[in-house]
Amino acid sequence: MKLAERELYELMISKISKNLSVIRPDRKFLRQDRRNKTNKYPMNYKRMC
């Protein structure tokens, strides 16, 4: 059971990583450091959800 759960977990991570790669991943790190610019990119947040 543990191996199957780990495989599913890795598949989920791979899908999420691909989705983040489509949307520029560098911006995500910039958002964490600069939270003041959140208002300038409201559309990107809506797309993430």
Per-residue confidence (pLDDT) for residue 16, from 0 to 100: 81
Q: What is the CA radius of gyration of the chain?
A: 15
Reading the chain (49 residues) residue by residue, the pLDDT tens digits are 688 898 999 998 888 877 766 656 566 565 655 555 555 656 666 665 5
Cβ contacts of 30 within 8 Å, gap of 6 or more? 37
Domain count within the chain = 1
Q: How far apart are alpha carbons 16 and 24 in whole angstroms?
A: 13
- Binning the chain into helix, strand and coil, the percentages to the nearest 5 are 90, 0, 10
Task: Tokens 């543990």: give the residue.
Answer: 2
Task: Give the CA angle between residues 49, 12, 20 to the nearest 5°.
Answer: 50
pTM: 0.35
Domain containing residue 39: 2-48
Per-residue confidence (pLDDT) for residue 7, from 0 to 100: 92
